[in-house]
Structure formats: structure tokens, C-alpha cells
Structure 1
Amino acid sequence: MTSSVTGGCPLALVILLLMSMDPIATEVVNSVNDCTEFFLDGTPPDIPGVLQQGTIQDQNRYKPICQEYENTRRFMTLYDTVNKIPVFSAYKYTGDDGSKRPRNQKWIKKYSKQASFSDYTHQTDYDRGHIFPSAHAHHKSDKEATFTLTNIVPQSRTFNNGSWKSMEKCVRCVMHEYCLNQNNQHEAFVVTGAIPNANKTLKNKVNIPKTLWTAFCCYSKVTGEWLASAHWGDNVKENPRAKILMET
């Protein structure tokens, strides 16, 4: 696991460097620009060969989805219909009301070109790894909204429950402590995604990403400046005793 923390808020640059359903609805929209409320200043990241200056390079393959739950937009996903995994999910961290992770949550399939629940069954090495983690969602409905098949990738179980889980917890603590806007409300813009593997799939269908990455930025009333942080790690089996986050 590798991490980077910077001043300022160059989310697009950070991500560019990183890359070199019953009540749940998937609102497939025409453009990423139709669902910009989850991006800082309404500006989506640049993903080489995928998304540049808000324009999807292959509109037949990559589909922008405004993720809805109980008639409310909760986050945004750019979905790869060939690899059947998200390119990224974008969301806002707005604090945590203390509600627990939903148990026995039903995974809903609403989009015809996505992976299916059966693609992830009978797996011992890979979890259904959230891209937008429920632990970063504000309240019960937000947490439930993350349990959609367009928001997950096959993630190595030891990686998911090891350094990646530790990183998510640490980032949440940082955002909760420092990401307070001028109205004294928690607010951070987060983009988390996956880099596909050239030749590794689950059940010869769903791409098993080689790397997961995440970046956030926020204004900190606490420090009086903009903060940004990025983390990435290889989606491989880990030694459970080696849950260490390395910083660069």
C-alpha cells in the first residue's frame, strides 16, 4: 500500500498519476456532466484513454451512472461494460451518523450490461470489494446505497480486510477530523477506482483489477487550507501481519 498527502487540491492530477437494486436504481445518463454534484467544482477527473475533460472516449463501453437510492442520488459511477467493473465511483464524505454497516444486504442488479451476483459466488480468494465503501457513507440509507453490483470489484480477501481496510478507516478519521467547510459541516470529495488487469478475470468474465486507488480533497476550516490525499495498492494476497501503510 502506498500513500501520498499534499497541500492544495489537485485531484485530477493525482488521479492522472495514479492511472499512468429494488430500492437501488442505476440511472444511466448521457454524460458524466449529468451527475457532477459529487466532483469538486463539478469537474470530473481525467482518466487516460477513458475520460478526458469530461468527455468519455468510448461511449459504447463506458457508462456514467448516477446511483440512486430511495429516489435520491447518492454517488456517481463510471462503469466499464467490457471488464464489468467500475472505472471509479465518486462521492462526498459528509460525516457519519453512527449507523452500522447493513447486514445481509441484498445485492441488486438493475443494469443489463453489468456483472451478476453469481459471478461472485463460491469464491474463497476474492470479496465483493466496495469502491465507495459503506463505512464512508453518512447514514443508513447512504450505506445501503453502496450495495449495488456496479460499485464492486473482485478484491483479494486479505487485501480487502488488510491494508485497504486500514487505509479506509484512517482516511475516514482524517476527513472527519479536518474536512470541515466554512459552514462547519463535514465535506470532502472522494474518487476511488480500479486499474484493470490485462489478463486476469473471475469466471472468465469479470476483470480482477491489478490496482485499487483512491484520492480525496477538501477545504479544512481547522487548518485554513485545502488538503488532498491519495492512496493505492496492489490487489494481491497479503500477509495478514503486514498491514502497514507506506507514505511517500
Structure 2
Amino acid sequence: LSELYRALKMLVLKVQDLMVLTALLLSITGPTETRVVHSLQACHNFFYQQTPPNIPGILEQGNIINQNRYKPICQTFENTVTFVTLYDTTNNIPVFSAYKYTQYATGRPRDIWMIEPQLENLHSGNNMEIPDRNKSYRFQATPDDYDNSHNYQKGHLLPNSFGSNMNVKQSTFTLTNAVPQVDKFNTVAWRLIERDMKSYMGNYCINNNDQIEAYVVIGAQPGTDNKFLNGKIKIPSILWSAFCCYSKSKGAWLTSAQWGKNTDHPELQSKTLNDLYHVLGHGFDLFPNTHCPRDYECTLSGCKRPRSS
């Protein structure tokens, strides 16, 4: 019996040693990427040729100019990274969200708005979560901040309608992917832009493998005034969107840009990247150092270089 006891004791010690070793290996080889990251390269797969946009004074040649203010977020829902956002923790709105569009799923998830816990505490979990109404959030907007919003709604940058499955769709309901949008602009005008953009990509962005594939960047231009919703969330003056893709049918790379003023009278535009850059200002380049042409535009009748370009 004593020999059996010693043998069992040795076996228990070995099992314990293996458990410690396994935990150590997991800590070394397991996922180290958190949702709020130091560089957009951590979630570069959502950019064409893994190259993020140039946004003057904010993001230049892949470098975030003020890392205390602007935070890259690898948007994560149920342990899956679904898209990427650059977030402004001073204005409490996203600068842009980027996504690789491949197809879209039908249906709409529940309107359950979430927040990014790591903006408040880097040691929080990786997944977006429903905010605790008993907590205050300093570095981001919450659903409560949109209460009594007087003609403004929570409006997506990356729309849920672009999501390839229901999890991706649900992940777009994070307030780090939303800005205050005028009611009519959100429900009518910008919805038409989203619908048309999805139609362009579905018709013209079919690659050599006969698969839909396009790189999308959607952003908001903060107003030059000092207008904040409920004293916390900067109200953007313009929303813009653009995509780049290879078209097998055209045998060429295509781009198109859309934008509109965040008002009851938005003056929607669907033109070239060059036209959009003229509106946004010198130095903008949403697809820098890539095949993406600046002088294409898409409409429901096709994609082409306009004669005036």
C-alpha cells in the first residue's frame, strides 16, 4: 500500500507539473492582440494591400500622430475580429471604420448598442460589451449620451447591411462605429448611399475567382464649429465612404466615393476619389500607394472615368 501511495503521489505531481507547463505555453503562444491596439497594423487585413488611409494630422504613413487621443480598435465580437476602427477619444466619435466586403447576409440583428471596454481599461476583456448604466465612461459615447438627442440618431459608419453574417452585423452596433446623424439624413439619405454602394460592389467588384471582394472605408468629418451632442459627442458635418476593388468584367481596378452633409438637406454626391479629396482637404488618401485609381466613379449604370477628370 505504501508503494501504491508513493506511485499515486508521483503521478499527481507530474500532472501538476504538466498543468503548469501547459499554462506557461499558452501564455507564450496564445493570442496577445487586444482590441484596443497600438497600431492599425494589428488588424491590417481590412485594408487593401494592408495599407491604412492617410488622414492629415491624424494618421500619416501608417503612423497615428496623437496616440493618446486616437485609438485603433480591432472590433471584436464573440472572440472574432470583424472590422477595424480608428476612434477619437476627445470627440467621442470614430474617424473611420474599414472592412473587407465579400457578401452580405439578409436580416437585421437587434438594436443592442455596445461599447469598447478597453478604451476605459486596457485590462478589460477583448470583446465589445453592453455598457453598465451604473458606470461612467470617459473616453467614449454610451447609449445614455444619445438620450434627449433632439433630431439626432445613433448612425452607423460601417452599416450592418454590409455584414457577411449575423455576427458581423451585430458587431457594427458598437458606439465606437457610430456618430450623431440628423434623423432624416440617417433614415433616408445615407441609407440610399449605403444601398447604392452595396449594389455597385455586388455588380462590379467580382474578382478573377468570381467572388465579390472590395475594400471599404467609411468616415466622418467633424464640424469646424463647437457643436457637441449633449456636451459630449462631436457632431460631424460630413459623412463619406469609398471602396476599391478589382473588376474581372472591366479588367481593371475600380473605385468610387460618396458623401453628404449631415443635415436635413444633405446634397448627396457619388463621384471620384479626387472629388472627395477636394471636399475633405489636401493630404487625404484612402488607398495610398495602391492600384486604386482616383479618377473612377460608379453609378447604377456602370463604373467609368468621367470625361471631366
Cα offset for 1:162?
A: 2.0
Deviates more, 1:107-116 or 1:179-188: 107-116
Distance (whole Å) between structure 1 residues aligned to residue 203 and residue 61 of structure 2: 32
- Residue 122 of structure 1: aligned partner: 148
Aligned pair 1:88/2:96, yes or no? Answer: yes
Structure 2 length-normalised TM: 0.68
Question: Contact 2:47 / 2:98 at 8 angstroms: preserved in 1?
Answer: yes
Cα offset for 1:97?
A: 3.1
Cα offset for 1:74?
A: 0.3
CA gap of 1:117–1:244, structure 2 versus 1, over 3 A, is closer
Aligned pair 1:107/2:113, yes or no? Answer: yes
Q: Which runs of 5+ in 1 are unaligned?
A: 1-25
Question: Contact 2:39 / 2:64 at 8 angstroms: preserved in 1?
Answer: yes
Aligned pair 1:78/2:86, yes or no? Answer: yes
- Residue 258 of structure 2: aligned partner: 231
Distance (whole Å) between structure 1 residues aligned to residue 200 and residue 270 of structure 2: 16
Deviates more, 1:116-125 or 1:186-195: 116-125
- Residue 32 of structure 1: aligned partner: 40
Distance (whole Å) between structure 2 residues aligned to residue 34 and residue 102 of structure 1: 27
Deviates more, 1:52-61 or 1:172-181: 172-181
Which residue of 164, 177, 195 corresponds with 1:138? 164
Question: Contact 1:213 / 1:230 at 8 angstroms: preserved in 2?
Answer: yes
Q: Structure 2 counterpart of 1:174, which letter?
A: Y
Aligned pair 1:193/2:199, yes or no? Answer: no
SS of the equivalent of 2:46 reads coil
1:56-71 superposed matches below 5 A: 56-71=64-79
Q: Structure 2 counterpart of 1:186, which letter?
A: I
Return the structure number with greater helix share: 2
- Residue 182 of structure 1: aligned partner: 208
SS of the equivalent of 2:253 reads strand
Question: Contact 1:163 / 1:245 at 8 angstroms: preserved in 2?
Answer: no
Q: Deviations over 1:116-144 (max 9, x none)?
A: 11011233411100000001111111100
Structure 1 segments, 4+ long, off by >4 Å, are 243-248
Q: Structure 2 counterpart of 1:207, which letter?
A: K
Question: Contact 2:220 / 2:240 at 8 angstroms: preserved in 1?
Answer: yes
Q: What fraction of aligned residue pairs are identical, expressed as a percent? A: 50
Which residue of 46, 49, 56 corresponds with 1:48? 56
- Residue 187 of structure 2: aligned partner: 161
Q: Deviations over 1:68-108 (max 9, x none)?
A: 1121110000000000000000001111232x1113x3211
Distance (whole Å) between structure 1 residues aligned to residue 270 and residue 102 of structure 2: 27
SS of the equivalent of 1:119 reads helix
Cα offset for 1:246?
A: 5.9
Deviates more, 1:36-45 or 1:197-206: 197-206
Cα offset for 1:194?
A: 0.6
Q: Structure 1 counterpart of 2:161, which letter?
A: A
SS of the equivalent of 1:161 reads helix
- Residue 237 of structure 2: aligned partner: 210
Structure 1 length-normalised TM: 0.84
Q: Which runs of 5+ in 2 are unaligned?
A: 1-33, 121-138, 276-309
CA gap of 1:123–1:33, structure 2 versus 1, over 3 A, is same
Distance (whole Å) between structure 2 residues aligned to residue 132 and residue 246 of structure 1: 17
Aligned pair 1:221/2:221, yes or no? Answer: no
CA RMSD of aligned residues (A): 1.6
CA gap of 1:232–1:205, structure 2 versus 1, over 3 A, is same
Q: Deviations over 1:132-170 (max 9, x none)?
A: 000111111110010011000001111112221111100
CA gap of 1:120–1:34, structure 2 versus 1, over 3 A, is same
